[in-house]
Amino acid sequence: MKGLAQVFKAVTSAMIGIGKRENLIKDFERTEKQGPWVYIVVGIVMTIVFIMLVMVVVKFALA
């Protein structure tokens, strides 16, 4: 579970545009071992959640 939490942290940092070089190196090492699919799936899920959150906020603002 620690690995999945690290993936969420890495994807969140990438979406926001912040991050440390050390974490980037760890992420690339993990990607070489496990493949990029975990990051791709988490990125897609987080993007969908972000879009849904924006839609809810807009509906509340327009109500």
The confidence score (pLDDT) of residue 1 equals 61
State the Cα–Cα distance between residues 60 and 42, nearest whole angstrom: 27
The confidence score (pLDDT) of residue 30 equals 87
61: pLDDT strictly greater than 70: yes
* Burial category of 61 from C-beta neighbours within 10 Å (exposed 0-12, middle 13-18, buried 19 and up): exposed
Cα 45 to chain center, whole Å?
8
pTM: predicted TM-score of the whole model, two decimal places:
0.80
pLDDT in tens, 1-60: 678 888 898 999 989 988 888 988 988 888 888 889 999 999 999 999 999 999 999 999
Q: Determine the length of the chain.
A: 63
Q: What is the CA radius of gyration of the chain?
A: 14
